[in-house]
Amino acid sequence: MRTSNLNMLFNPRSVAIVGASASPGKLGTITLLSTIAGGFKGKIHPINPNEDEILGLKTYSSVKDVPDEIDIAVICTPSISVSKIVEECIKVGVKFGVVLSAGFGELGEDGKKAEKKMAEVARGEKMRLIGPNCMGMGSAASKLYASLNFTIPKPGNASIVSQSGTLATFITIEASRQGVGINKYVSSGNEADLHMEDFLSYYADDPETKVVAAFIEGVRDGRRFMDVSKRITKNKPFIVIKGGTTEIGAAAASSHTGSLSGSNYVFDAVCRQAGIIRVSNYMEMIDLLRAFSFSSLPKGRNVGMVSSQGGMGVLAADACVKYGLNLPKLTKGSMNELNSFLPYMWSHKNPIDITGGTMDPTAFTRSLEVLLQQRDIQSVLCLAPIYSSYFDTVRAQISNDMRDISELIPAEMIEAVDEAAVDDLVKLKKKYNKPIVGIGFLSRRESNAVKLLQDNGILIYETPDQAAYVLSKLADYNEYQKGCSIWQSS
């Protein structure tokens, strides 16, 4: 097994941006801006033979002219010039080259040979390469975000590697926007030297990384991928999107990064054996990144449900069944307690529908607590009683002369209801530490209440489908970790 110490890649003291520029629209411009705006803790050296200073930074003609040691060279120049620049980097002891330039292996055999040769020369001299044809990399520890897509996320504990630069960007930024902090990201590009598996291997042992996610087009070494995946999943959830699962998609992948996609069925089997959570698109991946970043794991597949609105309960019950979750019966004790405060018309079973028949604002929370107390209920799914973003949405749509009328629905009152609900949910989460997942329509991105809940380990999703899916994946991973996995036996 090849190993590689990537500590310096993620904790560099200095970085050179080769091809740095300040002209709008250039690769080297946005990469330099991204590195500066990200707040890199070390030194930034722009390299450009035609400039003395770019964006206030002293600029050198070549890496050879930089007086300090350079840990990373980010290369943004045309492909034709890259191999010479790499040689210069080797001479001055650069440790990592991040080659953003395209025009190599993705074009065919000649390009493959060129990048392979360049990688071999570099490796022989202890310089390692990322890319070529990649988007860049980021690291929360050093605040280095050297990206041609200006990919600067919120810092946190999820680490990403992607064989597609676009998807590295999309996943990183949308996850971040939905509150998931990112610890490291790497766009691995054509993988002339360092492979996706090298980054995964580092993430497996990285104490700062708690969740791992990957977009994969092709696996070069199946055995190694399996081994490194098992090392990850022993301690951390590992979520994967596999592109090129169909013949046509695979053909597209081959012209994209020159990788071989392999059989979809084989990949599925690998995922089951290695405890990898395979998802089919990036929004599902982000749903799970949120779940694994914030929620505790359920001890099993038994779900209690409560809502005040029947139709949603019906859909949620359907979704639970669809994703292999169970809805255990309410015990006599639970029934008695619920009967003591719910209106007579409540559903009298799990899912609990408290109905609109009660004006008692605590009925929802008390029902939730009854479910959390019942021993064979291991997680709870509820319709989140969060309303302010809904009313804000409606208000924003009605005509201006009617706005003052709609103000008669007092925003403060609705916000107070939201706040009380958040308080109650957070208390219950702390007290029982069972996963609580809510369905909160219109709330994915906008509501402060939803953000607060998430920071306290309570997840809100837009649909019953998403909520049940996420709960099932949390349960899957718990089973895998306990070693009694359905995955391994199937």
416 binds a copy of itself (CB under 8 A): no
Least distance in Å: CB of 404 to a copy of itself?
9
Distance, CA of 465 to CA of 24 (rounded, Å): 44
Residue 250 or 276 having the CB closest to a copy of itself? 250
437 binds a copy of itself (CB under 8 A): no
Residue 62 or 355 having the CB closest to a copy of itself? 355
Residue 37 or 484 having the CB closest to a copy of itself? 37
Cβ neighbours of residue 416 under 8 Å, at least 6 residues apart? none
Q: Please give the C-alpha separations between residue 224 and each of 77, 220, 228, 361, in angstroms, as whole numbers.
A: 33, 9, 6, 55
215 binds a copy of itself (CB under 8 A): yes
20 binds a copy of itself (CB under 8 A): no
Least distance in Å: CB of 169 to a copy of itself?
8
Helices (H), 342-386: 363-373
344 binds a copy of itself (CB under 8 A): yes
Residue 154 or 230 having the CB closest to a copy of itself? 154
413, 427, 433, 455: which one binds a copy of itself (CB under 8 A): 413
465, 481, 485, 487: which one binds a copy of itself (CB under 8 A): 465
Of 163-182, which residues contact a copy of itself (CB under 8 A)?
163-167, 170, 173-174, 176-177
From 230, 236, 265, 271, select the one nearest 160 (Cα to Cα): 236
Q: Which H or E element spans position 284?
A: helix 282-294
Of 29-48, which residues contact a copy of itself (CB under 8 A)?
30, 33, 36-39
Residue 238 or 461 having the CB closest to a copy of itself? 461
Number of residues that bind a copy of itself (CB under 8 A): 97
Least distance in Å: CB of 402 to a copy of itself?
5
What is the CB neighbour count within 10 angstroms for residue 322? Answer: 13
Residue 95 or 242 having the CB closest to a copy of itself? 242
Binding mask 96-135 for a copy of itself (x = CB under 8 A): ------xx--xx----------------------------
| CB-based contacts of 447-450 (< 8 A; 24+ apart in sequence) | 447/386, 447/388, 447/389, 447/418, 449/386, 449/388, 449/389, 449/418, 449/419, 449/421, 449/422, 450/384, 450/386, 450/389
* Strands in 332-431 per DSSP E: 352-353, 379-383
Half-sphere exposure of 270 (CA within 13 A, CB side): 21
Least distance in Å: CB of 305 to a copy of itself?
9
Contact range with a copy of itself by CB under 8 A, out of 114-122, 196-204, 386-394, 430-438: 386-394
Q: In this structure, which amino acid lies at residue 319?
A: A
Would you tell me the crossing angle of helices 448-455 and 282-294 to the nearest 10 degrees?
60
Question: What sign has the CA pseudo-torsion 125, 131, 136, 139?
Answer: negative
Of 268-327, which residues contact a copy of itself (CB under 8 A)?
280-283, 309-315, 317-318, 320-322, 327
Of 347-376, which residues contact a copy of itself (CB under 8 A)?
347-349, 351, 353, 355-357, 359
49, 248, 265, 489: which one binds a copy of itself (CB under 8 A): 248
What is the CB neighbour count within 10 angstroms for residue 224? Answer: 18
List strands edge to edge, sheet with 436-439.
352-353, 303-307, 379-383, 436-439, 458-461
Whether the upstream peptide bond of residue 153 has omega within 30° of 0, thus cis, is no
